[in-house]
């Protein structure tokens, strides 16, 4: 009887293990535990066992039943798991997913990157300089004398050390020419700071993009052609651009550039987006004194420079009527650039 039970149990466990679905598992169960199952029949045989062995054989029977039932239940759970997984696998993964909330680049970053990419295609390389500047690079080297209003305490943020937050990115012109000889063709995007009254078109911390081109025969038509092409690339061929004669200490002649702003709910208006001009020979003379060489001899080289307000370019690009929207971080505004 003992051997017979061992055989039945081994056979039962093998059948359970071999079952691959609910149905074959149930077949195995019926084969062993059903009315005419192998274990059921063996249990019936206990009545023929001598009285003194009955208890021991009964225990063996119970142990076999428990082992088989456990194996059966375990297998049943495993098959159920597999069935659940198969049901999930039936979900169509080609259905569109629910939209995720994605962030986006800030409009100022977008316009800066776009401006850089246009100008790089035209051969301008990126340059950089410090935001905490000295008066020499911000003013003196740019032919801006001590009594110029831009140097006034009321217009500029000074530190006790005498350094200042640069009032324009034009200081990078000087830092570049100190380091490299002509031809020089650079752009320098970055922050600039002024004690300006904040309003719809002014911030006290704003963003500029400086440009400088120096070579042996750079002319005013080069300046105008370059910038007109740039604005048409940036805003589209319909863009209206005008050059107004102006004064900057470091360029001669000088111009301010206005572009028409079409903001929703407002009449179109010109807004000033850039200053530019031909590099003043006095700037080359100052650089020559610093460099102690003739690389920027004003008799030999000419150049043009420009500085644009990136915040204003963003206003024109997207018809933004108030510059302050660019620094308020209002998600309703920023979401529109996703």
Instruction: Note the residues at the interface with ligand PHE (CB under 6 A).
Output: 168, 170, 248, 251, 254, 275-277, 305-307
Minimum CB separation of residue 274 from ligand PHE in Å reads 7
What is the closest distance, in whole angstroms, from the C-beta atom of residue 154 to ligand PHE in the complex? Answer: 17
Q: What is the DSSP string of 33-81?
A: HSTT-HHHHHHHGGGGS-GGGHHHHHHHHHHHHHHHHHHHHHHHHHHHH
Instruction: Indicate the pairing of strand 184-193 with strand 205-215.
Output: antiparallel
How far apart are the C-alpha atoms of 213 and 106, rounded to whole Å? Answer: 29
Least Å from the CB of residue 227 to ligand PHE: 11
Nearer to ligand PHE, 107 or 275 (CB): 275
For the CB of residue 255, give the shortest distance to ligand PHE in the complex, in Å: 8
248 touches 305 (CB < 8 A): no
Strand runs (DSSP E) across 194-315, as ranges? 205-215, 241-248, 251-261, 269-279, 302-309
Q: How far is the CB of 305 from ligand PHE (least distance, A)?
A: 4
Nearer to ligand PHE, 12 or 276 (CB): 276
Nearer CB in complex with ligand PHE: 226/251: 251
Nearer to ligand PHE, 129 or 275 (CB): 275
Q: Is the dihedral of CA 141, 146, 150, 155 positive or negative?
A: positive
Residue with tokens 């070579």: 215
Least spacing, CB of residue 302 vs ligand PHE, in Å: 14
Quick one: 72 or 304, whose CB is closer to ligand PHE? 304
Return d(Cα 40, Cα 34) in angstroms, integer: 7
Name the helix (H) or strand (E) containing 292: none
By beta-carbon proximity to ligand PHE, the closer residue of 74 and 244 is 244
């Amino acid at each position: 009887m003992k051997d017979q039970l061992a055989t039945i149990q081994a056979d039962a466990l093998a059948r359970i293990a071999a079952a691959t679905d609910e149905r074959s598992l149930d077949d195995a169960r019926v084969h062993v535990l059903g009315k005419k199952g192998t274990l059921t029949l063996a249990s019936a045989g206990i009545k023929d066992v001598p009285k003194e062995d009955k208890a021991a054989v009964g225990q063996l029977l119970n142990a076999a039943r428990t082992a088989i039932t456990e194996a059966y239940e375990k297998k049943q759970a495993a098959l159920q798991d597999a069935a659940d997984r198969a049901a999930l696998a039936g979900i169509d993964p080609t259905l569109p997913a629910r939209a995720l909330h994605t962030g986006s680049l800030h409009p100022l970053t977008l316009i800066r990157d776009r401006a850089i990419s246009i100008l790089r295609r035209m051969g301008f390389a990126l340059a950089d300089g410090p935001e905490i500047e000295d008066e020499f690079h911000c003013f003196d080297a740019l032919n801006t004398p001590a009594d110029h209003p831009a140097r006034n305490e009321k217009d500029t943020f000074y530190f006790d050390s005498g350094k200042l937050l640069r009032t324009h990115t034009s200081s990078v012109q000087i830092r570049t020419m100190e380091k490299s000889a002509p031809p020089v063709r650079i752009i320098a995007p970055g922050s600039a700071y002024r004690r300006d009254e904040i309003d719809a078109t002014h911030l006290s911390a704003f963003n500029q993009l400086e440009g400088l081109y120096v070579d042996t025969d750079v002319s005013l038509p080069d300046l105008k052609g370059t910038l007109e092409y740039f604005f048409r690339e940036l805003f589209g061929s319909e863009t209206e651009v005008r050059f107004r004669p102006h004064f900057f200490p470091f360029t001669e002649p000088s111009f301010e550039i206005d572009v028409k702003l079409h903001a929703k709910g407002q009449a179109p208006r010109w807004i000033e987006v850039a200053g530019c001009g031909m590099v003043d020979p006095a700037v080359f003379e100052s650089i020559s004194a610093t460099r102690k060489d003739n690389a920027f001899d004003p008799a030999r080289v000419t150049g043009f420079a420009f500085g644009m307000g990136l915040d204003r370019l963003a206003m024109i690009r997207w018809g933004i009527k108030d510059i302050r929207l660019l620094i308020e971080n209002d998600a309703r505004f920023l979401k529109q650039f996703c």
